[in-house]
Structure 1
């Protein structure tokens, strides 16, 4: 396997607590998912150090709560400016620690810049409403209004697949709302989280407002979730971990963005040539390691054959290899264990009626973009979350049949439909049991200020800056008696 083009020496990364770098009793090596080379030594926090981070956040909560909105907005805006100045550097960090192809890493940094801009804007738009108390007979002579107040300390646990932007989706609205944060990044991608903490420090964020604690989830994560001083936990990751957080969180607020196996319906009459590139992006960007990665496609029988042929041909043209090569579209999955898992899932399909139209193999340790047809919904590649460069394409005879197939899932994050028929579009919008329906685009579509979240085992709560701010604040009612 080619070596990652990383000229940086192995770094030692401490914890970031109370505005300072803090040593840990133990460090663990961090390796490149693509080359296998060591890229850093990462501090492994224990319960005591995690508690110290919570202490720092708890002590800083009044400073953040009382900070004027315009000052919080200025800090967030400054971070977006600093990140724009250092886009290339930030993208290199993402590719180094996650093997995300550099083209996609640059796109993530650009999105993150926008996310912090949205957060800065939302910091100035947090407000309540007046209540018409005289609408009730007992309300005459009274005036009432609501305000939104910071909730306090927020525990944020983030995944590896968008290590900069999904951190921004938790840190940005938390700061906008006047909260403090204890952040546990994914074990494979701590570098970008520590990098953004340094930018916040440079931007003038008070010490203790953002603390980054790296280490094992069973220690760091559990300590965050179970500490009574943490008022809310926001988590993006797997269903089992999300269920565990929900059971341990007690009466804390939780936002849980969990699993998915996002589906797309392709209706008859759709121009297949016009949608192939979007389907390629939806299924294979970031090695398919996207919460709303296009995993299932239900194509109408009138367009099925043409779609499979053109889709498979396009997938075979994608360049596989070094994430630092600007031409690379597919690189290594996050761990060898994940690669082995998806290989087993593909092998499982060979004992069924399913067929492999493209891919299905390893090339220098990188799993090829894979298309499977005629896969029964009980196969893992259909019913579970692949989180890999793999997509299933099945034939359907009507939109109603397709909607039923999409809904035949324990997940419900987003789904898409391509159609020229407005009745079919409206039917899908009404009957798809998901958090978001995307019409005439893939379900992988997301902009960072839209409400984002799912139903069923896809989780609870919504992200997207305005909606996350609502989750991260408490509503307080004030009533004046004029009688």
Structure 2
């Protein structure tokens, strides 16, 4: 059984009387391990240690050295890909094929960050554009900011952690990580891997425990210069309020719209929505949730997607053939089931799925919904798609934008002029054309508008948000 405390400097903190949090396999609910919660004093200690390491080591570490650490980490992770994938299955309930995909992406994140460490470019500023600026030279350079507090979710417990840790290292910062208490072990394994790759002790510290016990102490600490959080809006905006005076990046919720026009390739759209709606049981913030289909192809699309969804293999996520496994907890599955039942009571029709067995919710398609139903207006975070017809562009743009969220969307059409016009009018951080909303590559700018968050991730963009610009002016003497 796995059993870990927190990690500060080169020490694991686990002695004494501590709150114990059990970590359960979401599929069979067997205990796979436990974490020994950090105290508030230890959170402060983690920040102070990270600050000391920043000042004495990371701040002055050359770019080639930071790049090499990240490159070695990528090689090590590639060598242990199956070991990490199986750990993701056990702690997150992610189907093994998807788990391998997450590890593959994590390797790329480390590679992108390794390259990014050597591309922290500044610029020369022409000062004689201003009167009096003759014989002077201006330089703007990017510099690390210090300790970064990273708070991460359960749904991509390796890749989303690396989206915060890897660019922080690339930029020359240090990190105090608070991973999700439901999926802490992949973070511990990553900590050990980065240590083996040569990351100095204290450059990454981990505080394990429940967010309600630790987060406020972490994000309000005066030595923390930036907070980066991925999770629910309710928590994220509270963190933003607590972190006054600090840089903040929030990656929050969504109820992603996907629009399928009459000239779209229907089979391509069906394949994309099948992947986008049910990957990791719909537990991704950009999962396809609201599916708007032109009325002229609505019946055809619905028939095809029902046929494909009803054939998805449900079961043990460790089996190679499994396409849909459990939700993270039975409570999460019960909540999603309740939302389905509420919609049905208000007139919606379940076309396939809708039943629950423990933490497994069948992949569900629901129609005859209204925009006020939770399965439409809220973030469902479950294997549920709501399919709705529309008649024209103006109508569907209004429907898609009628949301508190604005993270990503998908638009399916063979008319590039229409696609670009729609993309400009959708109130989203990102829009995919002929691809589903859930698609994400790890080097693209990623972040939402409205209640979906603030700031951008994607390695290059994260590095920029984790650095400051320092101006240096030079007077050239005769």
**TM-score where L is the length of structure 2:** 0.98
* Post-superposition offset of 1:364: 5.2
- Residue deviations 1:371-411, cap 9 Å, x none? 11121111100010011101111000112221111100000
* Post-superposition offset of 1:250: 1.1
Query: What corresponds to 1:351 in structure 2?
Result: 345
Q: Distance in 1 between matches of 2:351 and 2:140?
A: 57
SS in 2 for 1:395: strand
The alignment status of 1:321 with 2:315, answered yes or no, reads yes
* Post-superposition offset of 1:313: 1.0
**Are the aligned partners of 1:242 and 1:256 in contact in 2 as well (CA < 8 Å)?**
yes
**Are the aligned partners of 2:13 and 2:38 in contact in 1 as well (CA < 8 Å)?**
no
Query: What corresponds to 2:145 in structure 1?
Result: 151
Query: What corresponds to 2:42 in structure 1?
Result: 49
- CA RMSD of the aligned region, Å? 1.0
* Post-superposition offset of 1:60: 0.3
Query: What corresponds to 2:127 in structure 1?
Result: 133
**Are the aligned partners of 1:265 and 1:399 in contact in 2 as well (CA < 8 Å)?**
no
Query: What corresponds to 2:403 in structure 1?
Result: 409
Query: What corresponds to 1:442 in structure 2?
Result: 436
**Are the aligned partners of 2:176 and 2:207 in contact in 1 as well (CA < 8 Å)?**
yes
Q: How many residues align?
A: 474
SS in 2 for 1:350: helix
| Counterpart pick for 2:302 among 283, 305, 308 | 308
Q: Distance in 1 between matches of 2:359 and 2:453?
A: 32
The alignment status of 1:11 with 2:5, answered yes or no, reads no
SS in 1 for 2:333: helix
**Are the aligned partners of 1:33 and 1:332 in contact in 2 as well (CA < 8 Å)?**
yes
SS in 2 for 1:275: helix
Q: Distance in 1 between matches of 2:334 and 2:106?
A: 31
* Post-superposition offset of 1:332: 1.0
Listed as ranges, the matches of 1:140-179 within 5 Å are 140-179=134-173
The alignment status of 1:274 with 2:268, answered yes or no, reads yes
**Are the aligned partners of 1:257 and 1:454 in contact in 2 as well (CA < 8 Å)?**
yes
Query: What corresponds to 2:188 in structure 1?
Result: 194
| Counterpart pick for 1:35 among 28, 38, 41 | 28
**Are the aligned partners of 1:69 and 1:124 in contact in 2 as well (CA < 8 Å)?**
yes
| Counterpart pick for 1:207 among 184, 188, 201 | 201
Q: Distance in 1 between matches of 2:193 and 2:127?
A: 46
**Are the aligned partners of 1:15 and 1:21 in contact in 2 as well (CA < 8 Å)?**
yes
Q: Distance in 2 between matches of 1:19 and 1:167?
A: 20
**Are the aligned partners of 2:330 and 2:360 in contact in 1 as well (CA < 8 Å)?**
no
SS in 1 for 2:376: helix
**TM-score where L is the length of structure 1:** 0.97
Q: Distance in 2 between matches of 1:15 and 1:355?
A: 48
**Are the aligned partners of 1:73 and 1:124 in contact in 2 as well (CA < 8 Å)?**
yes
Identify unmatched segments of 5+ residues in structure 2.
none
* Post-superposition offset of 1:161: 0.3
Identify unmatched segments of 5+ residues in structure 1.
1-9
**Are the aligned partners of 2:254 and 2:379 in contact in 1 as well (CA < 8 Å)?**
yes
Q: Distance in 2 between matches of 1:426 and 1:398?
A: 16
